Amino acid sequence: MSKKRHRIVETLLWIVVVIVVLWVVSPFYWAVITSFKKPADVFRLSSIPWVQFRPTLNNWQTEFNQRGPEITRGLLNSVTIAIGASVFAVFLGSLAGYGLARHRYTKWRNQSMSFWFLSQRFLPPAATVIPFFLLMKSLKLLDTQIALILVNTTFVMPFAVLIMRDMFKELPVELEEAAWVDGCSRWQSFVRIALPLAAPALVATVIICFAFAWNEFLFALVLTYKKASPMTVVIAGTEHTQGVQFWYVSTRLLLAIIPPTILALTVQKYIVRGLTMGAVKG
Partner 1 sequence: MRKMSLVLSVLVILSLLFSFSLVWAQEGASELEIKTADAAFEAADKGNPDPAWKGQKLTIGVYSAGPRGAISGPLYFWRPYFEKLTGATYDIVEIPFAELREKIFTDLMTGTGTYDIIVGPSWFYGDYISNDWIVPSDKYLNDPRMPKWEPASILPPLQELYSWGGKWVGFNNDHDGQVLYYRRDILNDPKWQEEFKKETGKDMPVPPKTWDEVYEITKFFHGKDWNGDGEPDYGITMHLKVAGQGFFHFMALSAPYVVAPAPGDDPNKVTRYHNVYWFDPETMEPLVNTPGFVEALNMLLKLSKTGPSAMWGWSLGEAWDAFLRGKAVICFSWGDVGSLSQLPDQSSIKGKLGVAPIPGSEKYYDLETKQWVEKRNFVANTVGASWHGVISKFSKNQDLAAYFLSWQATPPINHWNVVWGWTGVDPGTLYDLLQPTGKSTIEEYVATGYEAEDAKQFVNAYEEMWYKYPLKQSYLRIPGTPEMWEIWDIHLSEAVTGQVTPEEALNRTAEDWNAIIDRLGREQLKKIYQEAIGYKPE
The closest of 267, 226, 189 to 74, measured between CA atoms, is: 226
Q: Amino acid identity of 192? A: R
Residue with Cβ nearer partner 1 (33 or 71): 71
The nearest distance, CB 178 to partner 1, in angstroms, is: 31
Residue with Cβ nearer partner 1 (104 or 226): 226
Is residue 258 near partner 1 by the rule CB under 8 A? yes
Is residue 239 near partner 1 by the rule CB under 8 A? yes
C-alpha of 48 from chain center: 32
**Angle (CA) 163 196 150, round 5°:** 50
Site string for partner 1, 91-130 (x = CB under 8 A): ---------------------------------------x
Q: Of 9, 16, 20, 262, which one interacts with partner 1 (CB under 8 A)?
A: 262
Cα–Cα distance, 233 to 218 (Å, whole number): 9
Q: Of 95, 236, 257, 275, which one interacts with partner 1 (CB under 8 A)?
A: 236
Q: Of 19, 68, 177, 272, which one interacts with partner 1 (CB under 8 A)?
A: 68
Q: 142-181: which residues touch partner 1 (CB under 8 A)?
A: 142-143
Interface segment toward partner 1; rule CB under 8 A; list 8-16, 65-73, 84-92, 203-211:
65-73
Residue with Cβ nearer partner 1 (59 or 114): 59
Give the CA distances from residue 168 to residues 30, 116, 190, in Å, rounded to whole numbers and listed in that order: 43, 19, 10
Q: Amino acid identity of 46? A: S
Cβ neighbours of residue 172 closer than 8 Å, sequence gap 6 or more: none
What DSSP letter does each residue of 232-281 carry, written as one string?
Answer: HHHHHTTEETTEE-HHHHHHHHHHHHHHHHHHHHHTHHHHHHHHHTTSS-
Q: Of 79, 113, 146, 211, which one interacts with partner 1 (CB under 8 A)?
A: 79
**Angle (CA) 172 107 170, round 5°:** 15
User: Where along the sequence are the contacts to partner 1 (CB under 8 A)?
Assistant: 38-40, 42-44, 58, 62, 64-69, 71-72, 75-76, 79, 130, 133-134, 137, 142-143, 221-222, 225-226, 233, 236-246, 255, 258-259, 262-263, 265-266
